[in-house]
Amino acid sequence: MTAPSLAERRRRRGANAARTRLIVGTARSVFLAILSLMVLVPIAYMVLASFKTVPDFFGNPYGLPGTWAWDNYSRAWRDAHISVTLPNTIIVTAVSVIGSTLLAALIAYGISRKEKPFAMGLYTFFVAGLLVPVNMIVLPLFILIKWLGLFGTLLALIFPYIALGLPLGVLILGPIAATLPRDLISAAQVDGATEWQIFRRIVLPLMKPGLISVAILNGVWMWNEFFIPLIVAFKPESQTMPVGIVSFVGAYSTEWGLVFASVVVSTAPILFAYLLMTRQFQSGLTAGAVKG
Amino acid sequence: MQFRLNEKPRFMEFYRAVLFMPVIISLVSTGFIWTLMLSSNIGFINPVLKDLGLGFLARNWLSDPTTALPTVIAVTAWNSVGWAIVIYLSGLQNVPEELKQAAHIDGANGWQTFWRVVFPQLSPSFTALTVLTFIGTFKTFDLVYVLTGPLGSPNYRTDVVGTLIYRTAFGGSGNYTDDISMSFAIALALVVFAFMTFIAWALIKILRRQEIQS
Query: In terms of domains, do A181 and A260 share one?
Result: yes
The pLDDT value given to residue A115? 76
Most confident of A87-101, A176-190, B98-112: A87-101
Q: pLDDT band for B1, please (50, 70, 90 cuts).
A: very low
- For residue A95, pLDDT over 70 is answered with yes
A91 occurs within a structural domain: yes
CB distance from B82 to chain A under 8 Å?
yes
pLDDT at A86: 94
Q: Which domain holds residue B88?
A: 2-210
Minimal CA separation from B66 to chain A, in Å: 23
Contact A242 B26 (CB under 8 A): yes
CATH of the domain at B182: 1.10.3720.10
Q: Which residue in chain A is spatially nearest to B162 when comparing CA positions?
A: A135
pLDDT in tens, B120-158: 888 888 888 888 888 888 888 889 998 888 887 787 888
B42 close to A (CB below 8 A): yes
Distance CA A271, CA A264 (A): 10
Burial status of residue A118 (CB atoms within 10 A of its CB: 0-12, 13-18, 19 or more): exposed
Residues of A in contact with B33 (CB under 8 A): 42-43, 45-46, 263
Given CA atoms B147, B152, B158, B162 in this order, what sign does their dihedral have? positive
Distance (Å, whole) CA B148 – CA B208: 37
Per residue in A33-87, pLDDT (tens digit) is 899 999 999 999 889 888 888 777 777 767 777 778 788 888 888 888 888 999 9
At A108-153, the pLDDT tens digits run 999 988 777 888 888 888 888 887 878 788 888 998 998 999 888 9
- Computed over every residue of chain A, the mean pLDDT equals 86
The predicted pLDDT at position B177 comes to 64
Cα(B6)–Cα(B147) distance, rounded to whole angstroms?
34
Residue A292 has pLDDT above 50, yes or no: no
Residue A232 lies in a domain: yes
pLDDT at B213 over 90: no
- In this structure, are A38 and A143 located in the same domain? no
Q: Is B15 close to A28, i.e. CB distance below 8 A? A: no
Mutate to test the interface with A, among B13, B21, B27, B29 (most CBs of A within 10 A): B29
Cβ distance A226 to B82 less than 8 Å, yes or no, reads no
Domain count, chain B: 1
B59 at interface of A, judged by CB pairs closer than 8 A:
no
For the residues A217-225, what does the mean pLDDT come to?
92
Residues 151-170 of B with CB under 8 A from A: 161-162, 165, 169-170
> What pLDDT, on a 0 to 100 scale, did the predictor assign at position A99?
96
What phi and psi values does residue B60 have, to the nearest 5 degrees?
-85, 80
**A-interface mutation test, from B1, B16, B21, most A Cβ less than 10 A away:** B21
Closest residue of B to A42, CA-based? B33
Q: How confident is the model at residue B214 (pLDDT cuts 50, 70, 90)?
A: very low
- Res A155: pLDDT: 92
In a domain, A57, yes or no: no
Q: Which domain holds residue A219?
A: 75-291
Average pLDDT over residues A176-189: 87
Residue partners of B169: CB distance under 8 A and separation at least 6 = A139, A142, B176, B181, B182, B185, B186
**Window from A3-17, A93-107, A235-249, A257-271 with minimum mean pLDDT:** A3-17
Residue B107 backbone zone (phi > 0: left; psi -120 to 50: alpha; other: beta): left
Residue A99, Ramachandran bin (φ over 0: left; ψ between -120 and 50: alpha; else beta) = alpha
Q: Is residue A66 part of a domain?
A: no
* pTM, entire model: 0.86
Residue B3 has pLDDT above 70, yes or no: no
Cβ–Cβ below 8 Å for A260 and B32: yes
Instruction: Kindly report which listed range (A288-292, B46-50, B65-69) carries the lowest average pLDDT score.
Output: A288-292
Q: Does A245 contact B169 at a Cβ distance shorter than 8 Å?
A: no
pLDDT above 70: residue B9:
no
CA distance linking residue A3 with residue B49, whole number of Å: 54
Q: Do A273 and A160 fall within a single domain?
A: yes
Nearest chain B Cα distance for residue A68, angstroms: 17
CATH assignment of the domain containing A208: 1.10.3720.10
- Give CA–CA dist A118/A121, Å, rounded: 5
Residue B149, SS3? coil
Instruction: Kindly state whether residues A242 and A127 are assigned to the same domain.
Output: yes
Cα dihedral: B159, B162, B166, B168 (round 10): 70
Burial of A225 (0-12, 13-18, 19+ CB in 10 A): buried
Using 50, 70 and 90 to split pLDDT, how confident is the model at B176? low
